[in-house]
Amino acid sequence: MDVPEAPAVPLFDNSHELDAIWDPLMIAVSNVLRCGDYILGNETEQFERALAAWLQCGHAIGVASGSDALYLALAGNGIGPGDEVVTSPFTFIATVQAITRVGARPVFADIDPHTLNLDERFVESVITDRTAAVLVVHIFGQPCDMDTFGTLAGHRGLALIEDAAQALGSTWRGQRTGTFGDAAAISFFPTKTLGAAGDGGAVVTNDADIDQKVRRLRIHGALEKYLYTVLGTNSRLDELQAAILNVKLPRLDAWIRQRRAIADAYSDAIPRSACRPLDEDERAKGAFSQYTVRVPDGRDSLRDYLCQARIGTAVHYPRPLHLQPALSMLGYRQGDFPIAEQACREVLSLPCYPGLSGSAVSRVAEMIAEWQVNVGGGL
């Protein structure tokens, strides 16, 4: 008798989200298509107001992507040629591309070995008289220590920018990430906690001057139509994506609770002798855009084993930014940031999204335990 094959557990599946909102989603999309107002119309204005209210911050500016949001957050703060911006080598390359796009120089500092977020002790050691900003990254949706970074930036007279691309829905001491610094960047890439049906992003800030600068920069630098006071770019959240996000945003709190429940279930079920979850500061509540574990021995072996069991995984990230060929001009070498380099050898992201069943979580945990017994990896 044939044994039925176990169902696949994909790394990402948004069918649960879509099923819950399909009818209002189709109405919203249809309304945009019929009205013909596709760029910076009512849907975008409504979403910007709703997002700012949800974050409890002053302003939200819809832009074309999370990458553009990072660039515009820096540009809106006046960061440019001759400046240095300190950030993490353990993040997606868009973080550093934004720094180079404004003409500034990225400067790396190593990360905390427990949370994998930027470590303020290492940041302090690389600040110079050319440092203009610290760009913190809330990696995997886990908040950085914003108390310490706020104090550091304030004492040093530096801009504090948050890369909150993965962190919408996380909090530090009950305050939403993205609302601590001078400005923050959010991504609405489809796999994020609030995902569009394509690219999208937002810059959020409590500073009215930064708000106006970013709004001007996103439409080619126009103060009014055909009057350009600065050279900007073309980066606008389109009406279709805004309409989709308007339908989704009221459900985000519930979806974040589901992500946290899944993370708790993983932490209870996964054998700690095989791999370990990242530490979560007691002052923080993560959004868990990814649920990431560390596998000190045999990460790639475990990933292959899970793949054979039809369980999706990802490595965020396999190579730290200071060792990327495109950034060789910065002059960093292997060994410069050993904690980040070790993290890249060990991290593995597991399926984590609203609608992921308890049985799926149990299956992932069982396969990890089975791998440890059969292959012998782990701690």
Span 121-132, pLDDT tens digits: 999 999 999 999
Does the structure show a pLDDT above 50 at 50?
yes
CA torsion, points 121, 97, 167, 27, in degrees to nearest 10? 170
pTM for this prediction: 0.96
Cα dist from 279 to 112, 162, 272, 322, whole Å: 10, 20, 13, 24
What's the CA gap between 49 and 52, in Å, rounded?
5
Task: State the average pLDDT over residues 334-355.
Answer: 98
What's the CA gap between 101 and 269, in Å, rounded?
44
Q: What is the pLDDT of residues 66-112, one digit of tens each?
A: 999 999 999 999 999 999 999 999 999 999 999 999 999 999 999 99
For residue 1, the model assigns a pLDDT of 42
% pLDDT > 90, the chain: 94
Local confidence band at 232 (pLDDT 50, 70, 90 cut-offs)? very high
**Parts of the chain belonging to CATH 3.40.640.10:** 15-250
Average pLDDT over the chain reads 96
Residue with tokens 């596709």: 38
What's the CA gap between 131 and 106, in Å, rounded?
10
What is the DSSP code (8-state) at residue 361? Answer: H
For residue 377, the model assigns a pLDDT of 66
What's the CA gap between 222 and 228, in Å, rounded?
4
From the options 3.40.50.300, 3.30.230.10, 3.40.50.620, 3.40.640.10, give the CATH code of 15-250.
3.40.640.10
Cα dist from 333 to 85, 156, 261, 320, whole Å: 19, 28, 40, 11
Local confidence band at 379 (pLDDT 50, 70, 90 cut-offs)? low
Q: Which residue has the higher pLDDT, 135 or 2?
A: 135
For residue 211, the model assigns a pLDDT of 98
Local confidence band at 4 (pLDDT 50, 70, 90 cut-offs)? low
Local confidence band at 376 (pLDDT 50, 70, 90 cut-offs)? confident
Q: What is the pLDDT of residues 169-198, one digit of tens each?
A: 999 999 999 999 999 999 999 999 999 999
Burial group, residue 329, by CB count within 10 angstroms (0-12, 13-18, 19+): exposed
3-class DSSP assignment, residue 1: coil
Least confident of 113-117, 134-138, 269-273: 269-273
**Parts of the chain belonging to CATH 3.90.1150.10:** 251-375
* Paired tokens of 148: 């310490």
Burial group, residue 328, by CB count within 10 angstroms (0-12, 13-18, 19+): exposed
Superfamily name and number for 251-375: Aspartate Aminotransferase, domain 1 (3.90.1150.10)
For residue 223, the model assigns a pLDDT of 81
Task: State the average pLDDT over residues 47-51.
Answer: 98
Does the structure show a pLDDT above 80 at 321?
yes
Does the structure show a pLDDT above 50 at 134?
yes
Task: State the average pLDDT over residues 286-312.
Answer: 97
For residue 375, the model assigns a pLDDT of 85
What's the CA gap between 281 and 120, in Å, rounded?
15
Q: How many CA atoms lie within 13 A of 211 on its CB side?
A: 13
For residue 7, the model assigns a pLDDT of 72
* Contacting residues for 29 by C-beta, under 8 A, at least 6 apart: 240, 243, 244
